[in-house]
Amino acid sequence: MKAIRFHAHGGPEVLRLEEVPDPVIGPGEALVRVRACALNHLDLWQRRGLRRVAIPLPHISGSDVAGVVVGSTGSNLPAGLRVMVQPGISCGRCLACLSGADNECPDYEVLGYRNHPGGYAELTKVPVQNLVPLPDSVSFVDAAAFPLTFVTAWHMLVTRAQLQRGEDILVLAAGSGVGQAAVQVARLIGARVIATAGSDAKLERARALGAVEGINHHTQDIAEEVKRLTGRRGVDVVVEHVGAATWAKSIRSLARNGRLVTCGATTGGDVGIDVLALFSKRLSILGSYMGTKAELVRAAGHFFAGDLRPAIDRTYPLADAAAAQQRLEESGQFGKIVLEV
């Protein structure tokens, strides 16, 4: 099969289109013909090289896959079934997995990261329990753009922050993958969404997804605007995934008893914490990582019913993966960048 691999860490130029052996499935696995694969920041970090995580080289990235089942072992899934793939791979036997908290499995891995070659390829293999059948009405591009960001947003808002109807929520960088998903999940719950983005055009798109207020984080002060928009009260929940560049403003934007939920730190993880604000305002800081298979299936129900729909920025052919990653690196996008295979 053809695949995009990197043999050394570096810029987008290390990505190479190559002929590589087809994956061989083991017990309980399915072979999937990839039709679309969405990009995530994880793809960039592993390509550049990580301080604490060794990536076996050469490596095939790609965590968000939609495609067609070619065959499987130990299941009766028909060949030709259209599927999207849950990116979280877990053992299925430990207490966390058996309790339905498979994202807390000690052996948790993500497709396209470390030991699991991903979807920048014509074929990939995954455990059969990671397959979610697709209705005919959902395209492969939309399906590939859904799993990682929506399961992450669902876990952050529904499970960790327990966002309630009528609450105020601030979603940072609404044009990012997690941002556009969080705006939509919050709107679905019935919260009032304030979104930030780096341009007025992106804020328009965030409003179309369900944000009622927008803050241009290049020209306006996030915390001051939040105070103005909430009558000095602040928001009940902040969706953080930016880190060092926004953390202090996120804390200042919270109302009493507010919850900050974070799933990432694209600008760096070393944030100062104002403990005075933390205790005097009774704030909660909640960490969140991926989400469970059950949460993805639940969110997918809303996706298939048309209530959630991933924002697609642009698609590229597989061979242009380097240009696609370059676009994600430059943060010009609104929504998901997807490779068509």
- CA 302/CA 76 separation, integer angstroms: 26
d(CA 243, CA 254): 16
Measured at the alpha carbon of residue 138, what is the angle toward residues 136 and 143, in degrees to the nearest 5? Answer: 130
- Nearest partner of 176 among 140, 155, 152, judged by Cα: 152
Q: Minimum distance between the CB of residue 102 and Zn ion, rounded to whole angstroms?
A: 6
Quick one: which segment of 28-36, 105-113, 190-198, 296-304 binds Zn ion (CB under 5 A)? 105-113
From 11-19, 42-50, 91-99, 223-231, give the range in contact with Zn ion by CB under 5 A. 91-99
Task: Tell the smallest beta-carbon distance from residue 297 to Zn ion (Å).
Answer: 18
Find the part of the chain contacting Zn ion (CB under 5 A) among 102-110, 120-128, 177-185, 333-341: 102-110
Question: Binding to Zn ion by residue 101, rule CB under 5 A?
Answer: no
Verify binding: residue 97, Zn ion, rule CB under 5 A. Answer: yes
> Residue holding tokens 């969110």?
299
CB-wise, 159 or 216, nearer to Zn ion?
Answer: 159
Q: Whole-number minimum distance, CB 278 to Zn ion, in Å?
A: 33
Tell whether residue 230 is a contact of Zn ion (CB under 5 A): no
Handedness of CA 338, 303, 103, 111 (dihedral sign): negative
Residue span binding Zn ion (CB under 5 A) among the ranges 29-37, 93-101, 242-250, 269-277: 93-101
- Which span sits near Zn ion by CB under 5 A: 19-27, 76-84, 103-111, 325-333? 103-111
Instruction: Tell me how far apart the alpha carbons of residues 299 and 14 are, in angstroms, rounded to a whole number.
Output: 35
Residue tagged 């207490």 (tokens): 95
Which residue has the CB atom at the shortest distance from Zn ion? 105
Nearer to Zn ion among residue 107 and residue 221 (C-beta): 107
8 Å CB contact between 20 and 117: no
Residues whose CB falls within 8 Å of the CB of residue 122, separated by 6 or more in sequence, listed in order: 1, 2, 3, 33, 34, 318, 341
Which CB, 89 or 197, lies closer to Zn ion? 89
Under the criterion CB under 5 A, does residue 90 sit at the interface with Zn ion? yes
91 forms part of the interface with Zn ion (CB under 5 A)? yes
Nearest to 181 by CA among 149, 212, 206, 142: 149
Name which of 68 and 101 has its Cβ closer to Zn ion.
Answer: 101
97 or 324: whose CB is closer to Zn ion?
A: 97
Q: Report d(CA 153, CA 173) in Å as an integer.
A: 13
Residue number with CB closer to Zn ion (79 or 98): 98
Q: Which residue has the tokens 């909660």?
A: 284
For the CB of residue 290, give the shortest distance to Zn ion in the complex, in Å.
13
Measure the CA angle with vertex 96, ends 90 and 102; round to 5°: 40
CB of 125 to Zn ion, least distance (A): 19
Nearer of residues 109 and 320 to Zn ion, judged by Cβ: 109
Span of 87-95, 150-158, 176-184, 227-235 interacting with Zn ion by CB under 5 A:
87-95
Contact pick of 105, 141, 181, 251 for Zn ion (by CB under 5 A): 105
CB-nearer residue toward Zn ion: 89 or 260: 89
Which strands sit side by side in the sheet containing 254-262, from one edge to the other? 213-216, 192-197, 168-171, 235-240, 254-262, 284-287
Q: Which residues contact 224 (CB under 8 A, 6 or more apart)?
A: none
Residues making contact with Zn ion (CB under 5 A): 90-91, 94, 97, 105
